Amino acid sequence: MSYASQLLDSYPRTFNVDAKVLASAIDALTDCAQACTADADDDLSEPNVAELVKCIRLCLDCADICMTTAGVTSRQTEYDANVTRPLLEACIASCKSCGDECERHAMMHAHCQVCEQACRRCEQACRQLLDAMK
Amino acid sequence: MSYASQLLDSYPRTFNVDAKVLASAIDALTDCAQACTADADDDLSEPNVAELVKCIRLCLDCADICMTTAGVTSRQTEYDANVTRPLLEACIASCKSCGDECERHAMMHAHCQVCEQACRRCEQACRQLLDAMK
Amino acid sequence: MSYASQLLDSYPRTFNVDAKVLASAIDALTDCAQACTADADDDLSEPNVAELVKCIRLCLDCADICMTTAGVTSRQTEYDANVTRPLLEACIASCKSCGDECERHAMMHAHCQVCEQACRRCEQACRQLLDAMK
Amino acid sequence: MSYASQLLDSYPRTFNVDAKVLASAIDALTDCAQACTADADDDLSEPNVAELVKCIRLCLDCADICMTTAGVTSRQTEYDANVTRPLLEACIASCKSCGDECERHAMMHAHCQVCEQACRRCEQACRQLLDAMK
């Protein structure tokens, strides 16, 4: 059981969203943030780095956005849907853009394939959390 | 002239948004992120910390979101409106929520008054950038 | 296998540290960052929040430091020991301080017990990485 | 007067370091974080991006470390010198490495010259804060 799950279990108040869906999203977000950071770095090491500039840029954005979304969704106290909802929308858009770009390089670079998977899984987990919040 | 302005001036390519509006937004975002971090900490030092829990939580969110938005808007290479636009919407929502909550404590706590100003200015700068992007 | 491991496996160049030790550290760092963020929020929800102010503050620091250390250690390209080494030292110090404070509240609050474990594990993983770098 | 200064002025408790030195460090840290983020992006737009890989990597590290150090030094409540001190050391090392690398490209790229200035100023401000803490 991930720390995210354990900490939701020991949260002192109640919360209005399914804990399993929430924990899955938090885990997918932190995983995706790390994968994007690492993939941007892998791209920098490639001989064809000039062709990977868009991938690097989208990975840097996606890492930042996923990390921030992980923080905001980890906080349950005085939860504010007006903030969480548009942030999840932005995170879904970022995972989509980054995943699509990684896919274009997945045949040539195994690290882009791994990062694409992390982005797709995170996009899906954020969509499920957004649905569960409704 | 802020570093943000100087670095936009020396950007090697052209970009499709007014540099002055962009630089103002970046500066307002980094200012707001710092103000929210400091205000959350100021709240923690108050004898009535239990009444400031909502303010702390929204400040932590707003600090993270503003910092990430500063990063994404600072990146011009392979700019992706599909990511930047919803992120700016999320940031505007966060500055609004945090600014409103800070306003409730502004009479009693000078630090909340300062933070409210930073949030209002940032919200406005993000709206202007969003308009300029259209 | 974590994304961190998979991305180290597909890194295009060679690196001078044991990949298993490095992947364990990266995973422990991202886990600890999330645990500290969540524990600070759990503390904010407790009726005795005023007694948990030190715990909240150290958790916020530890979350930021672990996240940054995860980023820096995830980057292998043009690795700079002059930066990584003191940062790992700072991260070890932060995990130690935060783990010690969480331990003081572990009997009363299960979430502090979980966070203490994350901090202890991360402290150890950072020490092992620092040793492996020598 | 920067928000950092205003928020230190309205801090509800006393703190044991000169407020002016502290505010200067916080402002230099947030400035440097933004400059490094923007310079890494400027580098990505250059035709000779392959020669700027080390600069990009060090800028990404320096941005993360400065941002985290800005957060930790902005927090005064339950201040822990055991954490702040090694973190400032790590930040000084990062600003030094990044500033040195930017200097190598400063003649060719104006954005690296601007970033070098931000790194040098931040390194100095962190040293002054470390001295003031003794």
Interface pTM (ipTM) of the complex? Answer: 0.96
Task: Please indicate whether, in this complex, the C-beta atoms of B57 and A65 are within 8 angstroms of each other.
Answer: no
Q: What is the pLDDT along chain A (134 residues), one digit of tens a residue?
A: 899 999 998 888 887 799 999 999 999 999 999 999 999 999 999 999 999 999 999 999 999 999 999 999 999 999 899 999 999 999 999 999 999 999 999 999 999 999 999 999 999 999 999 999 97
B51 close contact with C: CB closer than 8 A: no
Residue range B49-80, pLDDT digits in tens: 999 999 999 999 999 999 999 999 999 999 89
B–D: how many Cβ contacts below 8 A? Answer: 116
Q: What percent of chain B has pLDDT over 70?
A: 100
Closest by CA position to C40, among listed C26, C60, C24, C61: C60
Sign of CA dihedral A107, A109, A110, A112: negative
Q: C16: burial class by Cβ within 10 Å (0-12, 13-18, 19+)?
A: exposed
pLDDT at residue C16 is higher than 90: no
Q: How many Cβ contacts (< 8 angstroms) between chains A and B?
A: 88
Quick check: B129 and B26 in contact, CB under 8 A?
Answer: no
A77/C45 Cβ within 8 A: yes
Q: Which contiguous run of DSSP H or E holds residue B85?
A: helix B81-105
CB contact under 8 A, D110 and B39: no
**Chain B contact for C56 (CB, 8 A cutoff):** yes
The pLDDT assigned to B86 comes to 97
Instruction: Return d(Cα D26, Cα A117) in angstroms, integer.
Output: 38
* Nearest beta carbon to residue A50 from set D41, D49, D57: D49
B127 touching chain A per CB within 8 A: no
Using one digit for the tens of pLDDT, what is the confidence trace for D57-101?
A: 999 999 999 999 999 999 999 989 999 999 999 999 999 999 999
Residue D107 CB: number of other CB atoms within 10 A? 9
